[in-house]
Every structure is written in C-alpha cells, then in structure tokens.
Amino acid sequence: MSPQPQSRSAAPQQVFASATGNTTLNVLEARRRVEEEADAEFSRVGRSSNNVGREFLDVATIKEALVRRQRGESAAEIESALKLKPGVVERLGPAGVVSPP
C-alpha cells in the first residue's frame, strides 16, 4: 500500500476583536474626532462669518471665566464677553465647586 499524502491544514487565521466593542479603539476614535473638531474651531478663530463661539478653551480662558463667575457675572454675560458657545460656562461645573486659584 502506498502512503496517503498528508493533507495540509490551512494557515492559522488571526481573529481580532470587533472594533466596535474595543474600548481602547473607541477612546482613540473619540480622541481623533475631538482633535479634528478643535482644529476646525481653531482655524475659524478670527473669522466673523459663521463664528458661533468657542467650545475648546485654553487655561487662561477657563480661569477668566471662573473669575468673572465668582464676581457674579451670569453665564450668558461671560460667554458673550469671551466669545464662547452658549452652555460652555455651565459645563465648567456649578459655581463654588471649581474656583480660580
């Protein structure tokens, strides 16, 4: 009897977890989206057309907003003066929780 040729098994396939259920990939994707939004907002700074206010703030602007709020200015007044989108000051937290140094 002649020996039977051995069948070759298929190369092992790599199996990857679904990208939609991968927390690390989701965080990286969210970071990429926020970075794109911040870059787009930064590129619009100084243009009066279609400028509805800033949402991404630097430390100096956050401090200024907190100081103004501590002085008793309303969120709307602060947002108008600092050219921020409506609701940005409220997202800094309630008055008294965060305060400037």
State whether 81 and 37 are in the same domain: no
State whether 23 and 42 are in the same domain: yes
State whether 58 and 86 are in the same domain: yes
* 3-class DSSP assignment, residue 86: coil
How far CA 49 is from CA of 20, 37, 39, in Å, comes to 37, 17, 17
- pLDDT the model gives residue 76: 96
Give tens-digit pLDDT for 4-57.
656 566 666 766 666 677 899 899 999 999 999 988 888 877 666 556 788 999
Q: Residue 91 is part of which domain span? A: 52-101
- Is the whole model's pTM more than 0.75, yes or no? no
**Alpha carbon distance, N-terminus to C-terminus of the chain:** 91
